Structure formats: C-alpha cells, structure tokens
C-alpha cells in the first residue's frame, strides 16, 4: 500500500503527538530493547546483559515487593483467602474493610470516579498525620499512577480554544518529561525555569521572575510545576525556597503543582528534611494558606514500595474553587475509575501495619532495608561519578536518580553533530553499544544550553551498581581518549 | 474566599471540559448516591434501596467473579501462592508464564507501553481463533479499559491546531457517551448518524450518506464509530450492514473504529450472529482487506466476566501506516503502561481454561450461567417494557441494555420544560425519587428530536429485575395518570 493511500499519515494526524517526546522511553531505550533481543537470540556482544538505568522501575532491577502490600492485594482479588490461615489478620482486616467499600464487595466493580471512599479516607489520615493539619477526603482523587492525575490537572487549566492566548506552564529544567510531553499534547506554552546546578540544583526565585517575564508576551502563565524531591536532579528543597515559591505563585496568580511522588525517598533528612508544600503553605498563615491553589501528587510507584505496575496514585487539591473541582471530577467520570487494585495499593501504602499488628515487624524490616539500600547506592553513585575526569555530580539527597554534568571533548561534540544527534545522546548511545548500560541523555530532560548530562537511576542492586560504575569509568576513559 | 480570588474559575479553565457531559455518571446518578446516603443515615423513603440500572457494572449488581480469572490474578500478585495446593495447576501455569514476561518477574514493574508481550500473544491467538485469519501481536496495544484505547485513537486522528479544519467523527445516535465526551474534550466535530429504531436500530448507509454530506461544510470527516453489539441499543449488526459500512468508509476515506466490547454478549446467535469487523473486512477481498484502516476495541469489563474494576482492555490496529502506529505508541509511552493486573485480566480472558485442564469444567459452568442469566433478563426486560402503555422496546439481541421508547404526555413535557430539564430526564428523576430505580435518560445518549427514551441495564439478578419491572409498571401508570 502506498503511503498516500492511508487516511492517517504523518501529515494528517494530530501534530501535537508528532511533536511530543518522552525520553525515558525514547530511542536509546528502544535500542536497548533490540540489544536484549539480539543477546537472547545468541548474538555476541561486548557485554552479556543490558542493564537498564533509564527508568525508576524498582522491581525490574530486582527489588522484592513488600509482603504486606501484596497480601492485601491477593486477598482483595481472591476473597476465599480470607479463610486461609497463612495470611495475617491485619492484611485480612485491611482487605475486608476495602471490600466493604466496593460495590458488590468486589474489586471487579467500578468505583466512583474519584476513587473508593474508604481509601480516600485512609489517604486523608496519612496526610493529616504527615503534616499535622486537616485533610478532607472529598478533595482527594485517585488516579492511574500520579501521571494520570498530573495530566488531568494540566488539562483542566489548559485551553485549546483557537484564538485565545496559549496557557503557560512553568516547568523546571531539567524536568521529568511527562511535563514537556503533556504540554506538547495540549499545545500549552512551556515556560522553562532553570534549576541552579552550581547550588545543588536549587530553585531560585530570581530565575522564576526572569522566566515568567520573558514568557508573558507569548502566553498567559497559569501554573508552576515543582518536583520535590527532584527528578532527575535528586535535590530536596529547603523550607525557605518553598516559601519563596509560594510567594511567587501568589504574586503572579499561578496554580502550584507539587510533584511529591518521591516523598519517601529522602536520604539525608538531617541536612534538608522533606516537607510537603501543603505544610509550608499552612505555616505561612492565612494570607497564603487560604488562597494559593495547590495540587499535590503522590504515587505507589516510587518510595520503598516501587509498585509501578499497579498504577496507583492520588492528588490532593487545596483551595480549588468547588465549581472548578466539580468540573475536574466530571471530566474524570468519563474514564469511569482508576484500576481498583491500584487504588487498593496506594490506600494500603497510606495505611501500613501499625505497631502491635502482626505484620508490623516484617513490614518495617522490609521497608527500611530498601531505603537503606537506596541510601547506600545514592552515595556510591555520586562518589564514583565525581571521581571521573570531567564529570561532576551533585549529591543525591532524594528521589532515585543522579544527573551528572559531563564535559565532552570538542571532537566528540563535532562527531555527534555530524551524526545529527545531541552530544549527550551520542555519549549514551556509545555507552549502550559498548557496555550494555542504558542511561537517558540529559537533552531528554532539558539542560542549560551547551551543557551535557545524563540521568541514571540508582536502582540496580549494590553489586550490579558497582559493576555499572566500573564499566562506566572504563568507557568514559576510552571515550575521552578517542575524542581528545 | 471570593470567586474572583481563584486563579481557576469556570471562566478560565478549559472550556472543552465545561462543555463535556457524561450521562452514565451524570446528575441522576449523583442524586442516586445522595439518596443512598440518606437511606443509610436512617431517612425514610418510599423505597428501601436504590437499584442502579445506570451502568454496566456486573459485580455491583451481584454477579460473582469467575473463579479461574481471580485465581490467576491472586497468584500473580502474591507468587508464594504458586506453592499453595488449593490453587489449580492451570491457574499456576498461566501465572508462571505471565510472571516470566514481567521485568523482575513482578507485576509491580512497568511493562512496555503497549503491554506485556506474552499477553499480546495470547490476545492475538484468541483473535486468530475467533476469526480464522492472522493477527499480529505487534498491532495490538493494551489499555486501561477499552475507554483509554478509544481516547488514544481519537486523539491520534483529531487535530487541535487552531486555524485548521476541525476533524469530524461520525458517531451513532444513540451512542455510548464516551464518544461525545471525548469529542468535546478534543474539540472534534461530532457527526451524528441515527440508527433506525423502526428496524431494530439498524444502521442504514443512506443515513450515513445524509450525515456526512451535511457535515462536510463544517469539518473534515476522518473517522466512523460503530458500536456492535450496540450500546445503548442492544442490536447486533448483520453481515450485510457491516459490508455497507466498510464500503462507506472506504468511499469517504475514513478510519473505522469498531467498539466490539460486547462481543461475548449475544443472546440470539441464530438470528444475527456476531461477527467481527476484521472478519467481514477480510472476507470482502483485498480491495478492502488490505486498505481500510480499522481499530477494534475489546474490554475485560463486559462479557460474562464483568471485571470493570481491573480496567483491562485492548485495541487491534489493522492497515495502519507503520509510522502513524509508531506515533501512537510513542504517545502511549508517556503514560508508561496500563495497570499490569488489568493486562493480566484481559490476557487470561483471551486464554481461558481449555478442555482437559483442571479448571475447564468449573469455568464453563460459571461462564454459561452468567450468559444464560443475561439472556433470560434480556427477554424479561423487553417483554415487560413492551407491555407498558406507550412504551416500545426493540429486542435486546446483545450487550447489556434496553433502550425503550417512551411516549410522554404533553403535560409531562410541559412540566419538564418548566423545570428546565429534558422530558426523559424529568421522567427518570421522578422514577428515582418514587421508586429508587436509577435509569439514564435517553437524552444522555442522543435520540431523534421529539422522541424520549431511557437506558436500563439488564444486570440485576432475575428476582431484583422482576421487582424493578413491577415497580416501573406501577410508576409508569401513575405518571401517565398524573399528566394525562
């Protein structure tokens, strides 16, 4: 069939989708999948295995599920297990309570669109306990991962009407590419503000002011996205920085979108403890606490649990106009409901075993082991990266990634340009082909022009991570030698 | 806080969302939830229970899950059950195979964006067996329910670029409101074509021609949606009608979207057996089979399984331009992956126990009991409705709904208009307040101007369905008396 015979061609489909990029699953990752298939089919490579450091996918790199979470899920899915003595009573209690909140007592029924009431209550209790301030379950909606919630809120505040001013969304650079992909999809105007790498990726209000000022000709700024702890940058914001952000959004009439999905992933609470934007907002007093519109996002996919496949997430809305909130919830009703077992997962994460319950000790042991392991790998990764010539990497204070700055020789940059690709893409592709290590080039997240980075997760096991770092050191030395 | 203090108000948010309606969870349903809460709190009503006939939610109305499906899910969620003798070997085999296709052998890891390869292979085998023609797993993508797949394909073919001609999407009237809601969201131009109620909701090509001709001034028609078996109408299309549809889309350069989520719900195969559009397309020979772009949608939520809460679904793409397909798959990658246990659910549905396997007999017994029950209720519903004065209802040949035509007295129509609502909304609201029965007004699905309908599911158990029908008869008589 000739190309012109198709109804849908690259020229007739939605141009926003053609433009959209999502680097975390981009060309490097697609090439890594091909390499895996080639290895499987018996082809010889310079490496025996592809190691995927491209995505925050904990279980894929060997982390084991937390027993209690999976026990509750299994019982909800197959209620005859309520009579099985091998399952502990606290898991059964959670499952019974959740099933009583499901229509027909089945996780196979639809829930209401914003999510099962009992689960939203548990989440609300978690938030209340975390921040020491009230939380209302009617302001919480559940979602298929945090991504769906982020997209829904961005859709609400974006306007596709032709002729009207494009809506501007402020996004940190570097950023998690869900935001740039969604802005492409909705044809929103992305206002980039740069995090200051020289100050451990700090968020400076002067940079926010610069960015919004320059963008005002092109759009109507309406929202500011903050990712804390940072992805891909790994910083944890200070309270002072958060207060400045809040004053900034209030001053400029913006909605604050707080991506707080890594709230459990903080490795050095003594220097910068993680605080929720909701808490900081509250502590700033009624002038801010009663007016700034804030959406906070949380996920089942990260933290110590890493249950990505369940697609559990929630969003808490603060100070939203009730009519607007009703419109958002009406919109959500057309997708019926988030996957119910994903709802169960995020609900149980917010209501884990308590002291005195039979599963408490095992739960704490499993949770703390994962977090201690991540902390060790955060340190190992930063130290190794900083020991490489021409590489500097800020401390991984939180989240699951390191985002080192790599100084590439001019000849390598020229070779990349000749190939028609970004220099950091060129570097990452060579690393993949040589060593089977899959990083994501910094250009997929955004970076200061003329600087180059890559993102690696810190997820593979300590021995694997040591090997990755050793292989990287080898490769890096050879790469510099080749292009010097 | 004054309304003008909000950044987001009804005037500043995305107008497409304000305009969007989704009747299946609309105001009548919201009122039914309030009534349920009032009953729970001890308030006296004229009824003791709200009966929800508004949504195709099988488990909510008492249908029990199919044992085998849930066993596989439970084992996948909690693999220690692989050693549990109470679980049959075929369920364990399925779970083992699926887990081997998950990164890290965990359903907590992300799958590739289009879904786990093993599961797409199982789906592909099912389709091949169903139609007797090849199916390729690389043309199948999994989704959170069929809804997400429908929305993705519509997004692909819609264009939000200001200035360009709006894309036209042909939708049957009455339709399932996912289509109108999505067209509102994407600002696509909806081209309504009417099904012919006088011929058991048949799809007439002359009506398609009328509709597209009238719409061409306002848009660039790009796709035709067909729902077969019909929702809310319950018809099953004849092969001849499907051939005419295929000739029509080829003639006018349209993509065919076949919503085939009710393919297991066919109650009288002797009159109109259900055939897939893919099969009919194939049988029409290469002129059509090799060129018409077809997307076929299937769901875990309907059929005999009714596993709505799992949000399992798939879409098979036929004759799509590979570059376009790659763009769609790139778009899907930004939502990472559909819920993995939803993927498992639709996969196992396509690969149920086979003759000779230990679970086969129980599976067949459970499946056939649900389908026999639905068949009985389909007949009961139609017969009762047709016995009411001023009500006519076509045979429910398939799906899970009846969509009777109700002739309302002029005084009732006047009373509705005075209240500022549609007459069928007025009727359904009165029925809800009087009897606690929740139907959806026909205006939520679309109907010929001046005609009135409602949609009821046929899902409640036979005794409940008998009571619903008796209560409806009572109410209807009193309603006619009141407004005659």
Q: B224 and B327: one domain?
A: yes
Residue A2 predicted with pLDDT over 60 = no
Which residues between 301 and 320 in chain B have a beta carbon less than 8 angstroms from any beta carbon of chain A? 305-311, 319-320
- Alpha-carbon distance A87 to B412, whole Å? 58
Q: A223 and A305: one domain?
A: yes
- Contact between chains at A290 and B1 (C-beta distance less than 8 A): yes
CB A87 within 8 A of CB B79: no
When pLDDT is cut at 50, 70 and 90, the band that residue A270 belongs to is confident
Q: A380 and A341: one domain?
A: no
Q: A312 and A188: one domain?
A: yes
Q: B334 and B404: one domain?
A: no
Range B276-300 average pLDDT: 97
State the CATH number of the domain containing residue B310.
3.40.640.10
- Range with lowest mean pLDDT among A25-29, B62-66, B71-75, B159-163: B159-163
Q: A436 and A475: one domain?
A: yes
Q: B295 and B200: one domain?
A: yes
CB A13 within 8 A of CB B161: no
Q: B112 and B153: one domain?
A: yes
Residue B80 lies in a domain: no
Range A233-261 average pLDDT: 97
Residue B19 predicted with pLDDT over 90 = no
Q: Is A275 helix (H, G, I), strand (E, B) or coil?
A: coil
B458-481: pLDDT as tens digits: 999 999 999 999 999 999 999 999
Look at residue A15 in the predicted model and tell me its pLDDT.
87
Q: Is A326 in the B-facing interface, judged by CB distances under 8 Å?
A: no
pTM over the 0.90 mark: yes
Residues of B in contact with A177 (CB under 8 A): 334
Cα end-to-end span (Å), chain A = 49
B233-258: pLDDT as tens digits: 999 999 999 999 999 999 999 999 99
- Alpha-carbon distance A91 to B145, whole Å? 28
Look at residue A1 in the predicted model and tell me its pLDDT.
46
Look at residue B334 in the predicted model and tell me its pLDDT.
84
- Range with lowest mean pLDDT among A14-28, A240-254, A339-353: A14-28
Residue B72 lies in a domain: no
Residue A338 lies in a domain: yes
Cβ partners under 8 Å of residue B393, min gap 6: B381, B382, B385, B386, B402, B403, B404, B405
- Alpha-carbon distance A274 to A228, whole Å? 8
Residue showing tokens 């909800």: A76
Contacts A–B by Cβ distance under 8 A: 312
Query: Which among B6, B156, B187 has CB closest to A8?
Result: B156
Query: Which among A59, A110, A151 has CB closest to B308?
Result: A110
State the CATH number of the domain containing residue A417.
3.90.1150.10
Q: Where are the alpha helices (DSSP H) in B269-354?
A: 277-283, 286-289, 322-333, 340-349
A70-97: pLDDT as tens digits: 999 999 999 999 999 999 999 999 999 9
Cβ partners under 8 Å of residue A481, min gap 6: none
When pLDDT is cut at 50, 70 and 90, the band that residue A23 belongs to is confident
Residue A76 lies in a domain: no
Q: A114 and A34: one domain?
A: no
Residue B162 predicted with pLDDT over 70 = no
- Alpha-carbon distance A440 to B396, whole Å? 54
B178-221: pLDDT as tens digits: 999 999 999 899 999 999 999 999 999 999 999 999 999 999 99
SS3 content of chain B, % helix, strand, coil (to 5): 50, 15, 35
Q: Which two tokens stand for residue A383?
A: 């130290």
Domain end marker among A350, A379, A402:
A350
DSSP A311-339: -EEEEEEES--HHHHHHHHHHHHTT----
Query: Which among B65, B185, B330 has CB closest to A20?
Result: B330
Residue showing tokens 């397909």: B325
Q: A140 and A57: one domain?
A: no
Q: B315 and B413: one domain?
A: no
Domain end marker among A350, A379, A398:
A350
DSSP class of residue B111 equals P
- Alpha-carbon distance A312 to nearest alpha carbon in chain B (angstroms): 9
When pLDDT is cut at 50, 70 and 90, the band that residue A55 belongs to is confident
Residue B362 lies in a domain: no
User: Crossing angle, helix A117-131 and helix A89-100, to 10 degrees?
Assistant: 120
Residue A455 lies in a domain: yes
Look at residue A162 in the predicted model and tell me its pLDDT.
58
- Alpha-carbon distance A155 to B18, whole Å? 12
Give me the domain span that covers residue B289.
94-350
Look at residue A163 in the predicted model and tell me its pLDDT.
60
Look at residue A26 in the predicted model and tell me its pLDDT.
79
Look at residue A4 in the predicted model and tell me its pLDDT.
60
The Cα-based distances of A186 to A144, A155, B19, B179, B425 in angstroms read 19, 7, 17, 19, 34
Q: Which two tokens stand for residue B254?
A: 């349209």
Residue B89 lies in a domain: no
Structurally, how many domains does chain B consist of? 2
Look at residue A293 in the predicted model and tell me its pLDDT.
97
- Contact between chains at B311 and A144 (C-beta distance less than 8 A): yes
- Contact between chains at A14 and B160 (C-beta distance less than 8 A): yes
Query: Which among B33, B59, B331 has CB closest to A104?
Result: B59
What proportion of chain A, given as a percentage, has pLDDT over 90? Answer: 88
> C-alpha angle with apex A90: A89 to A91, nearest 5 degrees?
90
- Alpha-carbon distance B394 to B406, whole Å? 12
- Alpha-carbon distance B216 to B253, whole Å? 13
Range B156-162 average pLDDT: 76
Range B422-430 average pLDDT: 95
Q: Which two tokens stand for residue B109?
A: 């890891």
Domain end marker among A296, A319, A350:
A350
Q: Is B7 in the A-facing interface, judged by CB distances under 8 Å?
A: yes
**CB-based burial label for A196 (10 Å; 0-12, 13-18, 19+):** middle
Residue B260 lies in a domain: yes
Q: A322 and A380: one domain?
A: no
Range B293-312 average pLDDT: 97
A381-433: pLDDT as tens digits: 999 999 999 999 999 999 999 999 999 999 999 999 999 999 999 999 999 99
What proportion of chain A, given as a percentage, has pLDDT over 70? Answer: 98
- Alpha-carbon distance A235 to A232, whole Å? 9
Residue A160 predicted with pLDDT over 70 = no
Look at residue B1 in the predicted model and tell me its pLDDT.
46
């Amino acid at each position: 069939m000739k190309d012109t015979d198709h109804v849908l061609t690259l020229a007739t489909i939605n141009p926003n989708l053609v433009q959209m990029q999502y680097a975390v699953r981009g060309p490097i990752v697609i090439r890594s999948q091909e390499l895996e298939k080639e290895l499987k089919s018996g082809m010889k490579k310079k490496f025996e295995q592809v190691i995927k450091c491209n995505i925050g996918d904990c279980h894929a790199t060997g982390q084991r599920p937390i027993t209690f979470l999976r026990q509750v899920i299994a019982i909800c899915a197959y209620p005859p297990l309520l009579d099985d003595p091998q399952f502990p009573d606290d898991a059964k209690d959670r499952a019974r309570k959740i099933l009583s909140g499901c229509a027909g007592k089945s996780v196979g029924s639809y829930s209401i669109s914003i999510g099962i009431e009992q689960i939203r209550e548990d989440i609300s209790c978690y938030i209340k306990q975390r921040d020491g301030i009230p939380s209302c379950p009617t302001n919480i909606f559940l979602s298929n991962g945090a991504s769906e919630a982020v997209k829904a809120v961005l859709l609400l505040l974006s306007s596709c009407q032709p002729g009207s001013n494009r809506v501007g969304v402020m996004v940190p650079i570097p950023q998690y590419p869900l935001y740039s992909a969604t802005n492409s999809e909705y044809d929103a105007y992305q206002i980039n503000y740069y995090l200051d790498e020289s100050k451990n990726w700090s968020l400076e209000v002067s940079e926010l002011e610069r960015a919004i000022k320059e963008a005002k000709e092109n759009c109507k700024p309406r929202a500011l996205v903050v990712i804390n702890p940072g992805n891909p940058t790994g910083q944890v914001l200070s309270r002072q920085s958060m207060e400045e952000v809040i004053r900034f959004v209030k001053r400029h009439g913006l909605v604050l979108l707080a991506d707080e999905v890594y709230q459990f992933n903080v490795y050095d609470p003594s220097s910068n403890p993680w605080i929720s934007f909701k808490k900081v907002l509250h502590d700033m007093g009624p002038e801010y606490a009663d007016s700034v519109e804030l959406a906070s996002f949380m996920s089942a996919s990260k933290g110590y649990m890493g249950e990505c496949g369940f697609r559990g997430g929630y969003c808490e809305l603060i100070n939203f106009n009730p009519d607007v909130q009703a419109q958002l919830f009406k919109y959500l009703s057309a997708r019926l409901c988030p996957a119910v077992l994903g709802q169960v997962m995020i609900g149980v994460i917010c209501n884990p075993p308590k002291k005195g319950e039979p599963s408490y000790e095992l739960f704490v042991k499993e949770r703390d082991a994962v977090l201690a392991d991540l902390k060790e790998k955060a340190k190992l990764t930063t130290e190794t990266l900083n020991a490489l010539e021409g590489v500097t990497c800020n401390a991984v204070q939180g989240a699951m990634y390191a985002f080192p700055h790599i100084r590439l020789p001019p000849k390598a940059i020229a070779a990349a340009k000749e190939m028609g690709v970004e220099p950091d893409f060129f570097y990452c592709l060579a690393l993949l082909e040589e060593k089977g290590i899959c990083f994501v080039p910094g250009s997929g997240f955004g970076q200061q022009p003329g600087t180059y980075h890559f993102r690696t997760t810190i997820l593979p096991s300590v021995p694997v991570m040591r090997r990755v770092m050793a292989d990287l050191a080898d490769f890096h030395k050879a790469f510099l030698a080749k292009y010097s």
